[in-house]
Amino acid sequence: MTMVASNLDAYVDAVVSDVVSWRRYLHAHPELSFQEERTAQFVYDTLCGFGNLILSRPTKTSVVARLVGGRPGGVLAIRADMDALPIREENDFEFRSTVDGVMHACGHDGHTAMLLGTAKILSELQAELPGEVRFLFQHAEELFPGGAQELVDAGVLDGVDQVIGIHLWAPLEVGKIGVRAGALMAAPDTFEITVIGKGGHAAQPHLTVDAIAIGAQVVTNLQHIVSRQVDPLDPLVLSVTTFHAGTADNVIPGTVEITGTVRSFRPDLREEVPALMERVVRGITSAHGADYTFSYTKGYRPVLNDAAVAERLRACLVDAFGEAVVVDATPTMGGEDFSAYQWRVPGTFFFVGAGNPEQGITYPHHHPRFTVDEAALPMGVKAFVTAAFALNRQE
């Protein structure tokens, strides 16, 4: 890679204005999960202008491009997600969302733009490129069951040796890249509980089975699973996020509906939690003469980075950026459907810092005023191009 390494910054500099422009266009024209028709067409049309790419549309709202290099090597897949969120944007910059109630509040516009820039550079360097690179422009990361599994089922990883992906990460300051082997992002599961009591007049509680009082105990006691039944060194989050009951101040309702999420890394703990939860619900409702329904839905698998891929990725990024830039990524209990790729082939997901307190870029992901420092975009492009040469190179 020595020839490319000596000129890589020049290639990145030449494409950065396009990357910023693409990101801003996508930010202004967001589309929700499974609805990314205009976004996918924009990506397809842009890729058509690069040359040397073999394009396909595995699903209605996704795009895959293949680039076969001029030198022997492996097959690397690089993924970017394209969907936006149902959030009304509160930013006031010129390229804010033009779609009411929809915005790119998680950085997917930047992911797509960075991968377009990567495809542009690598298509120009085809003769020097080892092996094959597959660019996966994925739909529907934000909405379960997600677009990644659909692409895997469509065969986009057939013959692939490794897969990588970037998330622009607001908690990490711009200028840093976070890499980690092992657990990086959690499995985001959900649950629904209905407490079934007996309604009646609020002045005669003794004639009712108070679903609210029972439901409140359910919420409180579910927290004991994390604090008293799981090793405190084993990460687990159990959050109740909705509690719906009642219609009037003088009526005790007969039912309470409770929903929430469970986040975990360890697969066997993930299997244990539903039984622990139902035991709590069953015990409390039974003790008070109530009944219940309980359902638990598994979301995406946890993002578990392959140690060998992570080690090689870290090494090449240190060579490209320096030791001070590449840091240990901090695991998060957020979820990501990139895990669907990792369950098929070895892969690593990593963070590129996009936060900048000096510029007021401090809002969290999924916030109406979320944005990224665009200085992160060329870093992501350089990281992808560096990885394409380093990970595909035959030893």
Per-residue pLDDT at 342: 98
* Per-residue pLDDT tens over the stretch 208-217: 999 999 999 9
175 with 311, same domain: the answer is yes
381 with 273, same domain: the answer is no
Q: What is the dihedral of CA 204, 205, 209, 212, to 10 degrees?
A: 130
Q: Report the run of H or E that residue 190 belongs to, with start and end.
A: strand 187-196
Per-residue pLDDT at 6: 61
Q: Which residues contact 243 (CB under 8 A, 6 or more apart)?
A: 215, 219, 256, 257, 258
- DSSP H helices in 186-345: 211-228, 267-287, 307-321, 339-342
* Per-residue pLDDT tens over the stretch 75-97: 999 999 999 999 999 999 999 99
Contact 385, 8 (CB under 8 A): yes
Determine what percent of the chain is predicted with pLDDT higher than 90.
Answer: 97
318 with 286, same domain: the answer is no
210 with 290, same domain: the answer is yes
Crossing angle of helices 376-392 and 307-321, in 10° steps, is 120
Is 128 among the residues known to form the active site?
no
Q: What is the mean pLDDT of the chain?
A: 97
Domain count, the chain: 2
120 with 236, same domain: the answer is no
Per-residue pLDDT at 1: 42
> For residue 295, what are the CA distances in angstroms to 14, 124, 214?
53, 52, 18
336 with 217, same domain: the answer is no
Residue 346's beta-bridge partner residues? none
CATH number, position 289: 3.30.70.360
- Residue 37 above 60 pLDDT? yes
Domain region containing 161: 2-183+302-392
151 with 202, same domain: the answer is no
Which listed residue (36, 81, 83, 109) is catalytic? 83
281 with 356, same domain: the answer is no
How many residues are present in the chain?
A: 395
Which listed residue (81, 89, 109, 141) is catalytic? 141
Residue 289 corresponds to which amino acid? G
- Among candidate residues 257, 275, 297, the one where a domain is terminated: 297
Q: Which residues contact 283 (CB under 8 A, 6 or more apart)?
A: none
Determine what percent of the chain is predicted with pLDDT higher than 70.
Answer: 98
Tokens of 127: 């003769």
Tokens of 188: 């985001």
Contact 277, 223 (CB under 8 A): no
CA distance 30 to 378: 22
Nearest partner of 121 among 42, 14, 39, judged by Cα: 14
13 with 160, same domain: the answer is yes
- Residue 312 above 50 pLDDT? yes
* Per-residue pLDDT tens over the stretch 110-138: 999 999 999 999 999 999 999 999 999 99
Residue 89 corresponds to which amino acid? E
Is 83 among the residues known to form the active site?
yes
Sheet holding 347-355, edge to edge: 54-56, 63-68, 130-138, 71-81, 162-173, 347-355, 177-179, 326-328
Nearest partner of 369 among 137, 10, 103, 24, judged by Cα: 103
Per-residue pLDDT at 2: 42
Kindly report the backbone phi and psi dihedral angles of residue 301, in degrees, each rounded to the nearest multiple of 5, phi listed first. Answer: -70, 165
241 with 374, same domain: the answer is no
Q: What angle do CA 146, 150, 152 make, to 5 degrees?
A: 115
Nearest partner of 59 among 154, 144, 131, 145, judged by Cα: 154
Per-residue pLDDT at 395: 65
Coil, helix or strand for 200? strand
82 with 115, same domain: the answer is yes
Task: Quote the pTM value.
Answer: 0.95
Q: Which long-range contacts (CB under 8 A, 24 or more apart) does 122-127 make?
A: 122/67, 122/385, 122/388, 123/50, 123/51, 123/52, 123/53, 123/67, 124/11, 124/50, 125/4, 125/11, 126/52, 126/67, 126/68, 126/69, 126/70, 127/69, 127/70, 127/71
- Among candidate residues 244, 264, 297, the one where a domain is terminated: 297
- Residue 3 above 90 pLDDT? no
- 10 Å CB burial of residue 132 (0-12, 13-18, 19+) is buried
- Among candidate residues 240, 271, 297, the one where a domain is terminated: 297
Burial 275-300 (b: 16+ CB within 10 A, else e): ebbbebbeebbeeeebebebeeeebb
* Per-residue pLDDT tens over the stretch 285-306: 999 999 999 999 999 999 999 9
CATH number, position 318: 3.40.630.10
CA distance 85 to 35: 11
219 with 178, same domain: the answer is no
* Per-residue pLDDT tens over the stretch 321-375: 999 999 999 999 999 999 999 999 999 999 999 999 999 999 999 999 999 999 9
- The pLDDT-based confidence of 394 (bands split at 50, 70, 90) is confident
